[in-house]
Amino acid sequence: MIGIISALNAELMEIVENLETEKVIYKNLIFYKAKIYNKDVVLGICGVGKVNAAMYTQAMIDYFNPKVIINIGVAGSTCKDVKIGNLVIGTQYFYHDFDCTQAGSYTLGEMPGLKDVKFISDENLVNIAYEKAKKVLKEDEIFKGIIATGDVFVAKKETKDFIKEKFNSFCCEMESCAIVHVCHLNNVKYLALRSISDNANEDADCDFETFLIKASKVVKSIILDIIKEI
C-alpha cells in the first residue's frame, strides 16, 4: 500500500476524481482507496497545519499500513533560485517554529529527545521522483533539498529570510515535517513533493491564490508516474 496525503482539496481532488475509488471513513477522517497501475494506493486530504497532518498520517498508518507515504502539495519558496512553478523534492525536513532555545542548549527546531534524529527521505525515492519530474520540468526547475515546516503561512520577507538562514531550506509549508515525523516513528518511508505557489514574501497571499491550481498540477503530473515505479 502507498499513501498519498495533501493538505488541500485543490492539491489532490483532481487525481481522486479521475480514479475509481472506495471511500473509507476512519476516526471521522476520509480516505480514498484506489488501484493505480495495479498497486494499492490510499489518498486523502489532511487539512492545514501540523496537528491535522500528524493525526491524519497516524490514522492512515493504523488503518492501511502503507509502506511509504508521499506528501504532495504547494509551498512558498525560501530560496531565490526556486521560482513559482518549480518543484522541491524533500530530502530533509525541519520544524522552523519548534523553539526550545530558551530552555538551554537546544537549537531552533530541535526536539528534546530527538536530538540525533534526522528526518531524511530515502535516497532511492528522491531519485525516482527526480527522474519522473524531468519528464515534465527542466532540470533547473527541479530541486532536491530541505523543506521547513511550521504552523505559519509565511508572507514576510523577513520571516522567509530567517527560515532560509536557520535551516538552509528551499521552501516552507505547513505539514510535511509533521507527516514525516509520524512516518519516522512508525517505520514508514516518506517523501514530500512541493511545487512552488508563491515566494513567501509580501505578495504571497495573492500569488498563492493565483498559482495554487497551476502549481498543484505540476506535482499531480508526476505522482502517478512515481507510483508506477515504486
Per-residue contact string for residues 178-197; x = within reach of ligand ADE by CB under 6 A: -------------------x
The contacts of residue 65 (CB under 8 Å, 6+ apart) are: 1
Cell representation of residue 3: 499513501
Query: Is residue 198 among the annotated active site residues?
Result: yes
| Catalytic residue, candidates 161, 198, 202, 203 | 198
Do 107 and 101 touch, CB atoms closer than 8 A?
yes
Which residues between 25 and 44 bind ligand ADE (CB under 6 A)? none
Choosing from 75, 125, 179, 188, the residue that interacts with ligand ADE (CB under 6 A) is 75
Task: Decide if residue 12 touches ligand ADE (CB under 6 A).
Answer: no
**Residue 204 CB, nearest approach to ligand ADE (Å):** 4
Task: Decide if residue 153 touches ligand ADE (CB under 6 A).
Answer: yes
Query: Is residue 22 among the annotated active site residues?
Result: no
Task: Decide if residue 71 touches ligand ADE (CB under 6 A).
Answer: no
Which residues between 154 and 183 bind ligand ADE (CB under 6 A)? 154-155, 172-174
CA 39, 121, 28, 218 dihedral sign is: negative
